Structure 1
Amino acid sequence: MKIRANGIGIEVEDTGGADRPVVLLIMGLGMQLIAWPPAFVQALVAAGYRVIRHDNRDIGLSQHFDHLGVPNVLWQSLKLKLGFTPRAPYSLQDMANDAVGLLDAMGIEKAHVVGVSMGGMIAQRVALTATGRVLSLTSIMSSSGARGLPEARPEVVRALISRPAGKGPQAVADHYVKLFRIIANPAFPLEEAQMRERIMQGIERNHHPAGTLRQLVAVAADTGQRAAQLGRITAPTLVLHGRADPLVPFACGEDTARRIPGARLVGIDGMGHDLPPGVVERLLEPLIPHLGAA
């Protein structure tokens, strides 16, 4: 369903249950709400929670911002390396305001906020913005955004900024299969047929690469801006991170946990930067008790 929040249209999936505590799930860069594994969502529902997922702005069925143009990612990356702040069409704070606005529009006073990758960064900003409304914070395979942290491996960066060989659905799917193979880890294999099926579902639902580029620059522009503020987070915080993450190295999770007072860090051996079966179960094991304790 489409909800008007923070002045824009946001696509939402809601498991329902007005008497249940709410878990708000925030997905990562360029990923739609359907990227949350069904087993992950179903486990939270079975544990007694109402689960709300949404497409971040500029992705999926939420409002797109094509009028803002397509950023030159290489130029903005160079500015970042030189110590300048990239110029973003919108900010992670804007995306956090979307999430808070979504809670407002749905009449939800408080929620557990769980974000993965870029979604973890947005979740951190939600916890900073709406202090009294965040029952707990969970940051998964994410980062504080502090300058000087280890960066993604070169082959990951090349795959991330590369383009599909063609414009057809199969060429786009081939491109993403290659990318996900690079950021995943062999310790938790996912059969290519399953991976391709999940990718095709996203392509058929909505494929919007320009939005991904604008989100990417928003992440870059937030580098160094958020880290010093994380000490103000008061919500009980859990940081989950794969020790084999090639895109956002484990040290980024360590830094996030160190900066948030009382945060608990759980490192997962063999986990890369994805959510395959096996990883989902290892995430839920500390997550559900964390939600319950809060």
Structure 2
Amino acid sequence: MPIAKLNKINLFYDIMGTENSETVVLISGLGSQMTSWSSSFCQELVDKGFRVIRFDNRDSGLSTFIASGSNSVEELIGLLQQGKYPKNSYKLVDMANDAISLLDELKIEKVHVLGRSLGGVVAQIIASDFPERIKSLTIIMSTSLNPTLPQTKAEVMELMLRPMPCFREKLNLYLDHKLEFVKAIAGSRFPIKLEEEKENILKDLERAPLANILGQICAMTLTPYDLNRLQKIKTPTLVVHGSEDSIFPLACGKDIANSISNACFMEIEGMGHSLPNELNTMVIDAFMKNNVTHCPPSI
């Protein structure tokens, strides 16, 4: 299995495309496996002439899981409110360093970085702290962490954080819970395909049934908003955001674009907090345009 052993963290990854091509690194969101970047999205990038690397973040998929110092979201919030850090806690900068260490291990100097949701924040940190490693930056359905921005809809947050049934004992109920959340975050223009989504959930369960979202939630909570970090980013930047994102509302994407010099902002009408395959070509074309012409505002 392709596992990189990095500073006490093992990252599972895969590579598509030829070695002499420009490399694209895909960073996944909260609790998501690398498979959140669909094979069709990756293959289209390869068909455009890129080499594609996707990997499981720490605490997800087949990468290292870190023993958490809290057992529930409520316990985690209680500790943070007391000014205490849970045992073995980390920040998003550590996840950014994981990605850079993976590139070091693979002996890759410069890459295009695409990050979605929490992975979009990690991508911002990489572009700010390691500018010499980045050719371009694409941030999809993410946030700057600015505390003044609109928050996740309460009903969606409740669905995201509620305890899940045991899939080994109550698979159908588990699937119902997962699908209810997926429906809640999908935009009106791109409704989910129920059977396809079920198949994806089951494949992820077979691949890696567990995820430690508490570690990644803590990492996000312990990472402060830093406008200066965003303003340091000079690489060509594209920000893609849906008009109906219920986790990070549209203002979150606009704030990222407004904070990064010469960033291009692309709003997709009717898109929620997901990247359906119908949008693959649109997003990849915008990514490529960003690399060639610094993505003029006309897109």
Normalising by structure 2, what TM-score? Answer: 0.91
Once the two structures are superposed, residues 3-52 of structure 1 have per-residue CA deviations (whole angstroms, 9 ceiling, x without a partner) of 12243211011014121000000010111111111221111111110000
Runs (5+) with no aligned partner, structure 1: none
Percent identity reads: 35
1:116 aligns with 2:109: no
What are the residue-to-residue correspondences of 1:14-93 with 2, within 5 Å? 14-66=15-67, 68-74=68-74, 76-77=76-77, 87=85, 89-93=89-93
- Residue in 1 aligned with 2:179? 177
Shift of 1:277: 2.5
Once the two structures are superposed, residues 184-232 of structure 1 have per-residue CA deviations (whole angstroms, 9 ceiling, x without a partner) of 11311222111110111111111223x11210121122242x3331101
Amino acid across the alignment from 1:282: M
Shift of 1:262: 1.0
Once the two structures are superposed, residues 49-96 of structure 1 have per-residue CA deviations (whole angstroms, 9 ceiling, x without a partner) of 000000000110001112x3335423544787x7x8773611100000
Maintained 8 Å contact 2:95/2:122: yes
**1 CA distance for matches of 2:63 and 2:153?**
31
Amino acid across the alignment from 2:96: A
What are the residue-to-residue correspondences of 1:151-190 with 2, within 5 Å? 151-168=151-168, 169-190=171-192
**1 CA distance for matches of 2:84 and 2:99?**
23
Report runs of 4+ in structure 1 exceeding 6 Å deviation. Answer: none
Amino acid across the alignment from 1:151: Q
1:250 aligns with 2:250: yes
- Residue in 2 aligned with 1:283? 283
**1 CA distance for matches of 2:24 and 2:106?**
13
Runs (5+) with no aligned partner, structure 2: 295-299
Structure 2 residue matching 1:256: 3-state secondary structure: helix
Normalising by structure 1, what TM-score? Answer: 0.92
Structure 2 residue matching 1:278: 3-state secondary structure: helix
Maintained 8 Å contact 1:271/1:279: no
Maintained 8 Å contact 1:109/1:133: yes
Cα distance, 1:55–1:86 mapped onto 2, change above 3 Å: farther
Maintained 8 Å contact 1:28/1:116: yes
Paired positions, count: 289
**2 CA distance for matches of 1:73 and 1:85?**
15
**1 CA distance for matches of 2:172 and 2:11?**
28
**2 CA distance for matches of 1:140 and 1:104?**
25
Greater relative CO (CA pairs within 8 A, separation 6+): 1
**1 CA distance for matches of 2:121 and 2:164?**
27
